[in-house]
Amino acid sequence: MIFSFFRFKRHLFVIFLLALIAACKDELPTGVIDSPSDNVVVKKIIASERFSYSQSDSLYLFRVEINDSKNVLEFWLRLRLADGSETFIDQLPLKDDGDLSNSGDNIAGDGIYSALLPMSKQFPSDKYVIEGFVLEKNDPSSETRKVFSHYLDYTNESENYPPEIIEITAPSSGNVNQRITLSVRVSDPNGLSDITEVYYELYRPDGTQVKNSQGVTKFPMFDDGNSGINGDTTADDGIYTVFLTFPEGQPSGKWRFVFSARDRSGAVSNPVEFDFTLN
């Protein structure tokens, strides 16, 4: 009786499953594909994140490995500024043809697609994004699909210039336990993306320099738009901001801030001083 009972339950389950499948088929309209067309998937990007132009080397080699070459109808890339303000190269084909001199590809048919991007001295030194697009053979929508983004720091042949602190916005005095906001506007002839850090140093009324428990004397400022954390209202606009509070026990008198900025080459701006009176 036990064996017959379980066999009966199994038959009921099979009948229920077949009925469920039949019902689902009835609910799917003709021509509807119930899985997305993601046949082409990027496995790996083989490319540097930095490139410097020179007359002897103006071609940037970009390679990308995908999982399914046989389903690729068209594959190309686009080069634009990371902020989207300007496009410099569009619809440059990515090829898996083994033509080292023209496409930069090593081996034909290995699933690694390549392109040589002709970088120009006229392209500004800045942060770029390389975007890849694919058109698949079996995609009924016949629509291109973006399959990767790769960020590139590009430097042209032009001379490097150090950044500059051009404006300071801060109160001239304040009290202990009062949050104050420090902001500096920074410029760089090579572009704002050339700036890697902006910081301040702080000196007490007796001239001694402030350092934290880790021995740090250069305190970072931020241009990330995180107004709740550091007071910066707009990201990447060249205005760096930070909150600061003088705790109880700090000496009253004239404190001295020294602001500086550094670029990718390591060049540092001329320091700019600002006096703050702690009441």
List, for residues 82-139, the tens digit of each pLDDT value. 988 889 999 999 999 999 999 999 999 999 999 999 998 878 888 999 999 999 887 7
Tell me whether the CATH fold assigned to 42-155 matches the one assigned to 164-278: yes
Q: Which of 48, 61, 53, 49 is nearest to 101 (CA)?
A: 61
pLDDT for 105 equals 93
Which CATH code is given to the segment(s) 42-155?
A: 2.60.40.10
The residue extents of the domains of the chain are 42-155, 164-278
Residue type, 134: V
How far is residue 65 from each of residues 129, 147, 170, measured CA to CA in Å?
18, 11, 51
The whole-angstrom separation of Cα 234 and Cα 56 is 39
Tell me the pLDDT tens digit for each residue of 175-225: 999 999 999 999 988 778 779 999 999 999 999 999 999 999 999 999 999
Confidence of residue 38 (pLDDT cuts 50, 70, 90): low
* pTM beyond 0.85: no
**CATH class of domain segment(s) 164-278:** mainly beta
